[in-house]
Amino acid sequence: MSGFLRSRRERLRPEDVGLPPGARRQIQGLRREEVALLAGISVDYYIRMEQGRGPHPSEQVLTALGDALRLTGDEHDYLRRLAGQAPIHVAHDVPETVLRLLERLDHVPAMVIDSCYDVLAWNRMMVALIGDLSSVPAHRRNRLRRLFDPANRTTANRLDLARRCVADLRASGRYPRDPAIRHLVDSLAAESQEFATLWAEREVEVQHTITKRTVHPVVGPLELDCEILTIPAHDHRLLLYTAAPHTPTHRALTHLHATC
């Protein structure tokens, strides 16, 4: 929590929160004293929190800090998780009801991922779109690793997707308490300077809809809208790839459906 508080304090200017800038300011962002004033807590209490020495803050204090630091809703949820306010629920098996749903989504490429971005299940249209994942070793089915793979030359907006997915991973609030997430972050940071840089920026944003631009070996360029739906009571998400009617991508998906 200490690093996150510091990063959010340093990104704000006094004028962003209604404070005078002052003369001869030698630090980046707000001073600790200014954050404490805005949040209505003591300076010593805030300093101890930012240094990782303080007690677990109450919900009231976390709300006040979120307001003082101008946190987004996702960032505020992330701060509460860091403070131990939200439990971590782990589920590994894809429910049978979800598997049946994948089968019924006959015209829509769809897959299920877990909190580590590992692909757990997919339908025939997803095979037509990205290939048969059953022929790929399980440890290589990770979509985040795919984004940072130097060999990935088909995703046209790869950097934008990478940035958003890294922010989404951090927003889960599972790092560093979840060993699987910690291993994923550590290994990606060691393998990819690009990932290490994005992770160090501490951006936090849950992703609900993203656009992916890619090139398919058969039907060519695609612009896909991806809806990310949470599966209730499980630590999984359902990803659905669609395109607006009468667009080249929609026609391409119709062609792929005819071949699968």
CATH number at 56 reads 1.10.260.40
Question: Do residues 72 and 202 make contact, with C-beta atoms less than 8 angstroms apart?
Answer: no
What is the pTM assigned to this prediction?
A: 0.81
Confidence of residue 22 (pLDDT cuts 50, 70, 90): low
Same structural domain, 109 and 203: yes
Please report whether residue 90 resides in a domain: no
Model pLDDT for residues 176-216, shown as the tens digit of each residue: 888 999 999 999 999 999 999 999 999 999 999 999 999 99
What is the reported pLDDT for 85? 72
Question: Do residues 112 and 94 make contact, with C-beta atoms less than 8 angstroms apart?
Answer: yes
Same structural domain, 68 and 103: no
What 8-16 contacts at long range (C-beta under 8 Å, 24+ apart), as own/partner pairs, is 8/69, 8/70, 8/71, 8/75, 8/202, 9/35, 9/50, 9/69, 12/69, 12/70, 16/70
Please report whether residue 18 resides in a domain: yes
Print the domain residue range for 69.
Answer: 2-82
Among 51, 82, 113, which residue terminates a domain?
82
Question: Do residues 128 and 119 make contact, with C-beta atoms less than 8 angstroms apart?
Answer: no
Please report whether residue 60 resides in a domain: yes
- Structurally, how many domains does the chain consist of? 2
Please report whether residue 254 resides in a domain: yes
CATH number at 196 reads 3.30.450.180
Same structural domain, 71 and 101: no
Q: What are the φ and ψ backbone dihedral angles of 122, each rounded to 5 degrees?
A: -160, 165
Model pLDDT for residues 55-87, shown as the tens digit of each residue: 788 888 898 999 999 999 889 888 888 888 754
- Would you state the structure tokens that stand for residue 151, as one six-digit string? 């060999």
Model pLDDT for residues 120-141, shown as the tens digit of each residue: 999 999 999 999 888 888 878 9
Same structural domain, 140 and 78: no
**Which among 91, 149, 147 has a CA at the least distance from the CA of 120?**
91
For the ranges 27-31, 63-67, 211-215, 250-254, the lowest mean pLDDT is seen at 27-31
- Would you state the structure tokens that stand for residue 223, as one six-digit string? 């612009």
Same structural domain, 11 and 36: yes
